[in-house]
Structure 1
Amino acid sequence: MGRTSKDKRDVYYRLAKENGWRARSAFKLLQLDEEFQLFQGVTRAVDLCAAPGSWSQVLSQKIGGQGSGHVVAVDLQAMAPLPGVIQIQGDITQLSTAKEIIQHFEGCPADLVVCDGAPDVTGLHDVDEYMQAQLLLAVSNPGSPCPPLVPLGHLSLGFTLSHLSCPQALNIATHVLKPGGCFVAKIFRGRDVTLLYSQLRVFFSSVLCAKPRSSRNSSIEAFAVCRGYDPPEGFVADLSRPLLDHSYDPDFNQLDGPTRIIVPFVTCGDLSAYDSDRSYPLELEDGSGYKYTPPTQPPISPPYQEACTLKKKGQLAKEIRPQDCPISQVDVVPQPTP
């Protein structure tokens, strides 16, 4: 397959390169904003699990371009600089990171916190949903034992909250988000997502599940749009322990009465927009000829960097197939004389 094959299959991947976005996920945040006006009145925004920076790009253009807007991007991975974006290479499970965010905002809390981080998915939906749930369900009741925290470095590009793709994304948001603020995070929709919705409603007056048109229908990802941050009376944010109780009953999904939350499901994006699950020709409607566009910002330190270096030097080990091995004279079985 040539280098144009993905451009043909994934139109948002191609459009992201043509429009200068670092990743196709930029369209997801743009479509969420079209539906919910996330950036209206926002002057301070935080992008968690930011690398490689497509959501930070959107925030810098929508908020940073207002002059008084400030955007802080946080990730353990190195990220190429972006104009109008303050970068923190730190761990969102640490209180020092939350303090540094507030310091960049001159002591003021954020109006908006977004997170598009995710664990490395396996393709097994039950496993991926469980991993997402454990990443989010990192909040225990006071006095209960605290499970090991998941470092941000274990999260890869792409999510947040089956929940939250960063377990601590909601936790750190409680430290830096102002009352009435908005929180947007990737989720994996599964059979146990009802519990997640109920837990989010503890902290926010409004919770919706949104599916942007640029998110493939074949993907179980969606985004929790939480507005009106209003923590319970007496709640004290504490990054030293997770937020929600991890020792739930096996039948925890059988919620009823006031504990059962039915969250509206909303699709985002114009119906005339491109379909993320469809293959498009390389020449689109405007009649302009196709020209290959390289990625806007290649990863700075990808996990496959060493393999790429070895491949360029011809030192990458290759699998030896039997048909590639020359047949020696010893291996030749003499045929009987007729």
Structure 2
Amino acid sequence: MGRSSKDKRDVYYRLAKEEGWRARSAFKLLQIDDEFHLFGDHVSKVVDLCAAPGSWSQVLAKKIYFARPETERHQAKIVAVDLQAMAPLPGIIQMQGDITQLSTAQKIVAHFEGDQADLVVCDGAPDVTGLHDIDEYIQAQLLLAALNITTHVLKTGGTFVAKIFRGRDVTLLTDQLRLFFPEVTIAKPKASRNSSIEAFVVCRNYEPPPGYVPTMINPLLDHTYTDFNQLTGPNRFIVPFIACGDLSAYDSDASYALDEDYQYHPPTEAPINPPYQTALARSGRSESEHVAKIAADLEQTQLTES
């Protein structure tokens, strides 16, 4: 989000700041919900994997926890899991843990008092390198790790939503998901840029294979085959693709003129210790002194070059 000025002008970036969402990705989950109706009355126990900084947890709290009467909110339990610490959110049970560890799955189920989740979501993604093959491979492993822990905590008939990179070997991933979910769809919200290979896989009606025992020991991905495009017939599934988002929604890649009566709204959650202020504090100078030093350094540089 801090890479270039295009991100700063993005309509969803501005809306997220004004409405108090921790990241623009909140709109992706909202648009997926508009299309697939994830948050029905039957959904009361939810797990948010790779939750930091917490925008999806905010959506879950709004749609599941705060949507209930105050006397019934204790029935809703939302567990947010991430390796990093996250600022507290009302209605969210936060947990630091590794989603590849069995102990993490056991702690999640313990929060549900032995019950299992109705919905598991995961917006996790690696720090992209720009090397697409590597990025797609790491994302695939992260998705399978999320699926692995989901088999421990999701109840039969539940729903799983996760980020996926639509790369060359995406067929293998969707085939793995179809082993556990009879209904698999790839969704592309309008809040997700067209230039990005990012999409979201929506898996519904969880039904593990007969006799399957969840385990964290063996990976679900089998590397026996290398060219998955050779699969034909029933062994190669064509996964439906849906571009989701309300017809009146903004397009992430489009530019929109501000209305004449537009008024600036400051962020609901102001930044904590802005980097510029932190740099000033460390230097021990006031802002005017800092600007004067920059001007002096620039003048000295120009004299040296001349």
2:138 alignment partner in structure 1: 131
For structure 1, the residue ranges without an aligned partner over 5 or more in a row are 137-163, 333-338
Residue 72 (1) aligns with residue 40 (2): no
- 8 Å CA contact 1:195, 1:253 repeated in 2: no
1:63 alignment partner in structure 2: 64
Alignment of 1:95-110 (within 5 A): 95-110=102-117
CA-CA distance at 1:266 after TM superposition: 0.4
Residue 180 (1) aligns with residue 157 (2): yes
- Matched letter for residue 17 of structure 1: K
2:14 alignment partner in structure 1: 14
CA-CA distance at 1:194 after TM superposition: 1.0
CA-CA distance at 1:280 after TM superposition: 2.9
TM-score under structure 2 length normalisation = 0.84
Q: Deviations over 1:283-333 (max 9, x none)?
A: 347x23224x34737589xxx98x985575359xxxx99x937549xxx9x
Residue 296 (1) aligns with residue 269 (2): yes
- Matched letter for residue 168 of structure 2: R
Q: Deviations over 1:198-254 (max 9, x none)?
A: 111001010000000111111100000000111111111111332221x23221232
Alignment of 1:187-266 (within 5 A): 187-245=164-222, 247-266=223-242
Distance, in Å, in 1 between the alignment partners of 2:102 and 2:179 is 22
Q: Secondary structure at the match of 1:127?
A: helix
- 8 Å CA contact 1:39, 1:63 repeated in 2: yes
- 8 Å CA contact 1:75, 1:88 repeated in 2: yes
Alignment of 1:19-98 (within 5 A): 19-40=19-40, 41-65=42-66, 66=68, 67=73, 68-98=75-105
Which residue of 224, 241, 252 corresponds with 1:276? 252
Distance, in Å, in 1 between the alignment partners of 2:272 and 2:234 is 46
- 8 Å CA contact 1:10, 1:280 repeated in 2: no
- 8 Å CA contact 1:22, 1:295 repeated in 2: no
CA-CA distance at 1:130 after TM superposition: 2.3
Q: Secondary structure at the match of 2:229?
A: coil
Distance, in Å, in 2 between the alignment partners of 1:311 and 1:200 is 51
Distance, in Å, in 2 between the alignment partners of 1:72 and 1:84 is 9
Q: Deviations over 1:38-75 (max 9, x none)?
A: 11120100000000101001111111122221100000
Distance, in Å, in 2 between the alignment partners of 1:266 and 1:190 is 17
Q: Secondary structure at the match of 1:180?
A: strand
- Matched letter for residue 110 of structure 1: A
1:313 alignment partner in structure 2: 282
Q: Secondary structure at the match of 2:201?
A: strand
- Matched letter for residue 230 of structure 1: E
Identity, in percent, stands at 66
Moved more, 115-124 or 6-15: 6-15
TM-score under structure 1 length normalisation = 0.77
Q: Secondary structure at the match of 2:205?
A: strand
Q: Secondary structure at the match of 1:63?
A: helix
Distance, in Å, in 2 between the alignment partners of 1:124 and 1:36 is 32
Q: How much is the aligned-residue C-alpha RMSD, in angstroms?
A: 2.7
Distance, in Å, in 1 between the alignment partners of 2:21 and 2:128 is 23
The 1:94–1:6 alpha-carbon spacing in structure 2 relative to 1, beyond 3 Å, is: same
CA-CA distance at 1:17 after TM superposition: 1.3
- 8 Å CA contact 1:209, 1:266 repeated in 2: yes
Distance, in Å, in 2 between the alignment partners of 1:47 and 1:299 is 24
Q: Secondary structure at the match of 1:203?
A: coil
1:152 alignment partner in structure 2: none
For structure 2, the residue ranges without an aligned partner over 5 or more in a row are 285-296
Distance, in Å, in 2 between the alignment partners of 1:171 and 1:289 is 47
- Matched letter for residue 26 of structure 1: A
